[in-house]
Amino acid sequence: MRRVAERIKVAAIFAPGCKIKPVWFEWRRQKHAITELSYFWKDRDGDATLLHFAVSDGSNLFELIFNASDQNWTLEGVEGS
């Protein structure tokens, strides 16, 4: 996976039970609709909890990170483009 590490705009559904489902994101002026959330995991960076989402827009795989501390979304990496 190629590292990107860029802050991005994400639309997500915050469902009951602390479930977050990213729906689309914008990267380099292009909107990517998320067709599959294939994996989710959490880790920490200092006292910040980072939520990782492996998502696909139908052609590429992306890793999105939601920093629960500063509420920012980052596109961590992309596979396939």
Partner 1 sequence: MPSSRIILHIDMNAFFASVEQQSNPELRGKPIAVIGAAKRTIITTCSYEARAFGVKTGMNTWEARQKCPHLIFVVGNNRKYTYTSTQIIMIMREYTPLVEVFSIDEAFLDVTGCLSLFGSAERIVYLIKSRIKHQFGITCSVGIAPNKLLAKLASDMQKPDGLTIIKPEDISRVLERVPIKDLCGIGAKMNQHLSNFGIKTCGELGRFPVDILKRKFGVTGEKLHYMGLGVDDSPVVPDEEAEEVKSVGHSTTLDKDISELADIQMFLLQLSEMVGRRARRYQVAGKTVTLTVRYPDFTTFSKQESRVSHTNNSEEIYLAALKILNSIELTQPIRLLGVKISNLRQHTEQLPLFPAERKKALLAGAMDQVNNKFGDFAVTFGSLLGKDGGSKVISPAWRPEGVRNVEVD
Give the residue with the Cβ less far from partner 1, 63 or 73: 63
Residues that bind partner 1 (CB under 8 A): 1, 36, 38-39, 41-48, 52, 54, 56, 61, 79-80
| Beta carbon of residue 22, minimum distance to partner 1 (angstroms, whole number) | 15
Contacts of 5 (CB under 8 A, 6+ apart): 74, 75, 76, 77
Instruction: Residue 22: name the closest of 32, 4, 30 by CA.
Output: 32
Backbone dihedral region for residue 6 (phi beyond 0: left; psi -120 to 50: alpha; all else: beta): beta
Give the residue with the Cβ less far from partner 1, 1 or 23: 1
| Beta carbon of residue 47, minimum distance to partner 1 (angstroms, whole number) | 5
> Which tokens hold the place of 44?
């920490």
Give the residue with the Cβ less far from partner 1, 38 or 72: 38
